[in-house]
Structures are given as C-alpha cells and as structure tokens.
Chain A
Amino acid sequence: MALLEIENLTVEFDTVDGRFRALDGVSYSVDAGEVLAVVGESGSGKSVAMLAVMGLLANNGHLWADKLEFEGYDLLTMSAKKRREIIGKDISMIFQEPIASLNPCFTVGAQIDETLKEHTTMSRGERKTRAIELLDSVGMPESAKALKKYPHQMSGGQCQRVMIAMAIACKPKLLIADEPTTALDVTIQKQILDLLLDLQKESGMGLIMITHDMAVVAETADRVVVQYKGKKMEESDVLSLFESPKNPYTKALLSALPENATGDRLPTVSDFHLGDEGAA
C-alpha cells in the first residue's frame, strides 16, 4: 500500500472573477522510503496539492478527489480531531521561507517543544533533551545555546535547520518539503539537501520535494511528477525523465536550463508548441 495516494484531485478557489481551478485531476502516490519530486513553475499547482493533503487550504478553496488517502485513512472524510493527530506527527511539512515560517515572538526551543508537547507524552526534561538531540541531528552548532535563541538571531540556513528539526521531531512517515532551499545560498542548499536525504535514508520516511529547480530534482529524486497549469504532464523515474522526456513541456523545461544551452540563445517554453498534446 502506498503511503500517500492522491487520485484525481481537483482544487478550485473562489475569486472575484469566479472560480479558479488551480489543480485539475491530478493523481500520484508516494511509497515509504521514496523521494518523489513534484516539479513545475509558479501557478502549476504543485504546492496546492500538498496544502490540500495537510488540510491547509484557505477558506475560499474547494477540493474534490476520487481518493486522498494516507496509510489507508481517508483524508477527505477525516474528523478535524483525527487530522490534528496525524498532521505534524505522521505527516509534516517544511516551507519555503524559513525565516517567515518561524514565529518571531518565541524562542526556537519553545517552538520545537510545542510540537513534542502536542504529539508525545514526554516530560518537560525529556522534551528538552529531545530538542537538543534534534538540533544536533540537523547539524546545528551549539545546540543547547541555540534553543534559547530567537529566529532573528539566526541565519536563513540555521532557521531552515530548525524548521527541519521541528518537522522530524515526531519521526514522521511522510515529509513534505515545499521549495526547502529556494531562499538559500548554494553551499547551504547542498547542506540542507544532503541533510534531508540522510534523514530520509535513515528513517525510511517518504519524502516529497516540491521544487521548480530541475537541478535539485536531478540531485535528489527517485521519481518525478511534472506539473503545468494545474495538470500533470508527465510522471517517470528521474533518469528516464532527463534522458528521454516524453511530454513537450518537460522537453521545453529541460532545454531552458542554461547549462543545456546550445548556441547563443536559450530556447523558451513558447518556442515549443504546447498545443493540445501538451495540455492532454
């Protein structure tokens, strides 16, 4: 049984101009111990599917799906209470902007502690030990001191480490990383990606990497889903995607990489005729 199964998921938002369909009949699944990359440009709906899984869609969002299951639990009909037990414990998520996703008013220690308090029965002392242990495992220097720091006293890379520590605090079965390294420098990016992959291998959790960066996909994924304008364009293992992309949009995306440039000009997506074939 797959860890997370999404079948024919559609998400629409109410806007002043009427309903906007952000995600249109998308299906994919993730197994335990697998790294799935969901790639697409802004507006492709790559984050929306994950927000739907997490139950974090805004009030104007509506979703339908034939199936939206985590470990066989139906996320569509699940009670809010049951969902809260799963979210943050068995499924957790890391967001793009680490500095913006931590609460500036509380210390890092308090924020890690909150997750542990909610989902475990540990005592205060045990929680503190665990928090230090977590910060050590994400490679935070002087972890005991770092607990007392506020987010503004840390760099972007350190904040992202704290976010990862919070996300893995309860040993999740599925970790969703939404553009985890986009705001970071390349050397920090490498550290964070290596860290995520190490944690994933160690614990055997499923990892969904949402990204727009094809190079990050090439470095991390086992399997890849390519999305464009709310639709799934292609799904394949990472090697065949880069070696022989089938969908015209995937081809366009790969040839727009500056390192694949041949000649003076970069081909752009509009150079490829994404007609009915591309949208099929």
Chain B
Amino acid sequence: MADDIILEARNLVREYRTKEGIFGKEHVNRALKGISFSLERGKTLAVVGESGCGKSTLARILTLIDPATAGELLIEGNPIDISKEKLSKDMRSKVQIVFQNPYGSLNPRQRVGDVLTEPLMINTTMSPAERRDKAMEMLVKVGLGPEHFNRYPHMFSGGQRQRIAIGRALVLNPSLLILDEPVSALDLSVQAQILNLLADLQDEFNLTYLFISHDLSVVRYIADKVMVMYYGEVVEYGTRDEVFGNPQHEYTQTLFNATPQADIAHIKARLAASH
C-alpha cells in the first residue's frame, strides 16, 4: 500500500517576505500554513480554491521550482529539499507541469519540435534522432500530427497549444503531472476534448494528476480526491463523493452555493422565484 503513494506532503509551509522600502519593516505573508496530503499512483487529486488561497504556491513547491519554508516533501518515498541539495535529472523528470494559459506558456519563437525536444536535450542523453522520434511520437499521442513538428505556436488554436503543452510535460515520462487550471482558458467544447485527452493519457501511462481548478463542475468530473483550500489552509480533504455529497466546512458550502448551475430544475426554480 505504502508503495502506491507517489507524493506525500507533510506540514508544508511557505512564507513570502516583503519590505516596504529598504529600511521598512519586514512583512511576512504565509501563503501556505501547513499543508499535508498524500497522492496515490494513477489517481487524480483536485485542488480547489479561489485566487490567493495558495494553489499556485503549492504547485510551485510540488514541481520543485520553489523550496518550502518548512515541512517535508516526499516523492516516491524519498524526501526532497531543493534548498539544500541539487536535483538529479532523474528527479526533475518525475514531476512536470502544464500551465493555465497556453498562449503564454509556449515560446512564440520556438518551433513545436523544439518545444518538445528541449526537455529531452537537457535531461537525457538521447541522440538528436532519438529525440526527434520521441517528439513525433508524443505529437501523435496528444492528438496532433507529425506535420505540426516544424510549425510555430501562433499557427495553433488554444486547444491545440494546450495539447502541445501537455506533450512537452509528458515527453520526459513523468509519473506525476501538475495541471494548473489546464482548461480554464479554453472554450467549452475544447475543454471537453482536453479533459478526454487527459483521461486517455492517464490510463495509458498510469499517470498521477494533481489538478488545480476553481471550476467545480470540472473537478467533479475528473477527480478521485478533492482538497479545498482557503487562505493557505486545507479546509476540506476527502474523496470526491464525500466532498460533493456532504461538504463539512462552511467555506466549501459557500463555494458550492456560489457555483452557477445549468440543470433544468434549477432554472425552473429561478424563474418561479422571479415571477
């Protein structure tokens, strides 16, 4: 059972220190106030919360971009502290991220082929031909074709760009993928395509997802477990059915009540109330 836990966070804390002017008083902002959770291989954990709740700070710590101020982070059972030791390339490949805005996260001057082969160039010892083959293979996996290899990001639609970003994240065969609002910039029908693609890829590669989102309808669709954050704290953590069926914390209930609903009974109730 313990082998199945791919990621464990114990009491993660992250502080940002700012000063007003050089002689000003130091101001400490605790973005994460002791977060603990664990993530099983092949499952999806959704992190829900509004702006400023620390979702993205958490994503930066988990992708090993920023160190935590305190607390422990274990990936496949190994404790990791990037503020003390340098990361091995192997470790780098384990966790990858897909960002929210596919228009901002791809370099406009880089061809799609280079976007996909760059991580391989840095982190592996593959030959150029092998890298190219791997990138081609990845393009097909994410639903694009080899003919897209030499094109630039501006020649693609938002949904296609998000496919490229997913391909870039998967090209190193990571076991954990952090998805930071991957569909919130996309149209409804494109959102459905990307969610389907993520589900297919998860089955194929036994991937583990940490899915950050503010959209509860998407979370309900994709998540196995749900974690609700509010001002740097976890206020609710449980399986999807527990959280959606019987939310305990007041904030979770507020969040559910605020979410617009598209079912017919709800529309009828609204129309009846207004007349």
- A residues at B contact (CB < 8 Å): 41-42, 156, 185-190, 193, 201, 212-219, 238-239, 242-243, 252-254, 256-261, 264-270
Distance, CA A41 to CA B193, complexed state (A): 14
Q: Establish whether residues A259 and B262, one from each chain, have CB atoms under 8 Å apart when the complex forms.
A: yes
For residue B261, CB closer than 8 A to chain A, the reply is: yes
A186 touching B214 in the complex, CB below 8 Å, given contacts A218-B267, A259-B220:
yes
**B178-221 Cβ-contact flags toward A at 8 Å (1 or 0):** 00000000011111110110010000000000000010111011
Interface residues on B, range: 35 or more
Q: Establish whether residues B195 and A258, one from each chain, have CB atoms under 8 Å apart when the complex forms.
A: yes
For residue B118, CB closer than 8 A to chain A, the reply is: no
For residue B268, CB closer than 8 A to chain A, the reply is: yes
Residues in A neighbouring B193, C-beta threshold 8 A: 268, 270
Q: Establish whether residues A215 and B259, one from each chain, have CB atoms under 8 Å apart when the complex forms.
A: yes
A259 touching B260 in the complex, CB below 8 Å, given contacts A239-B268, A265-B196:
no
Distance, CA A242 to CA B267, complexed state (A): 9
Q: Establish whether residues B217 and A215, one from each chain, have CB atoms under 8 Å apart when the complex forms.
A: yes
Q: Establish whether residues B264 and A239, one from each chain, have CB atoms under 8 Å apart when the complex forms.
A: yes
- Minimum CB–CB distance from B218 to chain A (whole Å) comes to 5
- Minimum CB–CB distance from B54 to chain A (whole Å) comes to 14
Q: Establish whether residues A190 and B264, one from each chain, have CB atoms under 8 Å apart when the complex forms.
A: no
For residue B155, CB closer than 8 A to chain A, the reply is: no
Residues in B neighbouring A267, C-beta threshold 8 A: 192
Distance, CA A259 to CA B191, complexed state (A): 13
A268 touching B192 in the complex, CB below 8 Å, given contacts A218-B260, A218-B261:
yes
For residue B51, CB closer than 8 A to chain A, the reply is: yes
A219 interface neighbour in B51, B190, B260, Cβ under 8 Å:
B260
Q: Establish whether residues A268 and B196, one from each chain, have CB atoms under 8 Å apart when the complex forms.
A: yes
Q: Establish whether residues B261 and A215, one from each chain, have CB atoms under 8 Å apart when the complex forms.
A: yes
Q: Establish whether residues B267 and A238, one from each chain, have CB atoms under 8 Å apart when the complex forms.
A: yes
19 more contacts with CB within 8 A, not counting A187-B255, A213-B188, A259-B220, are A185-B51, A186-B50, A189-B258, A190-B259, A213-B260, A214-B262, A215-B260, A218-B260, A218-B262, A219-B270, A239-B268, A242-B264, A253-B189, A258-B218, A258-B220, A266-B195, A267-B192, A268-B189, A270-B189
Residues in A neighbouring B274, C-beta threshold 8 A: 201
CB<8 Å pairs between A and B, sample of 26: A41-B190, A190-B260, A193-B260, A215-B259, A215-B260, A218-B270, A219-B266, A219-B270, A238-B267, A243-B264, A253-B188, A254-B262, A256-B191, A257-B262, A258-B220, A258-B221, A259-B217, A259-B221, A259-B262, A260-B262, A264-B199, A266-B192, A268-B196, A269-B189, A269-B192, A270-B193
Which residue from chain B places its CB closest to the CB of A249 in the assembled complex? B189
Which residue from chain A places its CB closest to the CB of B258 in the assembled complex? A190
Distance, CA A227 to CA B222, complexed state (A): 28
Residues in B neighbouring A215, C-beta threshold 8 A: 217, 259-262
Residues in B neighbouring A190, C-beta threshold 8 A: 257-260
For residue B271, CB closer than 8 A to chain A, the reply is: yes
Residues in A neighbouring B264, C-beta threshold 8 A: 239, 242-243
Residues in A neighbouring B261, C-beta threshold 8 A: 215, 218-219, 259
Interface residues of B in 156-197 (CB under 8 A from A): 158, 187-193, 195-196
Which residue from chain B places its CB closest to the CB of A266 in the assembled complex? B192
Which residue from chain A places its CB closest to the CB of B256 in the assembled complex? A186
Which residue from chain A places its CB closest to the CB of B222 in the assembled complex? A258
Residues in B neighbouring A42, C-beta threshold 8 A: 158, 187
Distance, CA A186 to CA B216, complexed state (A): 9
For residue B246, CB closer than 8 A to chain A, the reply is: no
Residues in A neighbouring B266, C-beta threshold 8 A: 218-219
- Minimum CB–CB distance from B145 to chain A (whole Å) comes to 16
B267 interface neighbour in A186, A201, A239, A261, Cβ under 8 Å:
A239
A41 touching B192 in the complex, CB below 8 Å, given contacts A218-B260, A219-B270:
no
Residue among A189, A243, A259, A260 with most chain B CB within 10 A: A259
Residues in B neighbouring A268, C-beta threshold 8 A: 189-190, 192-193, 196
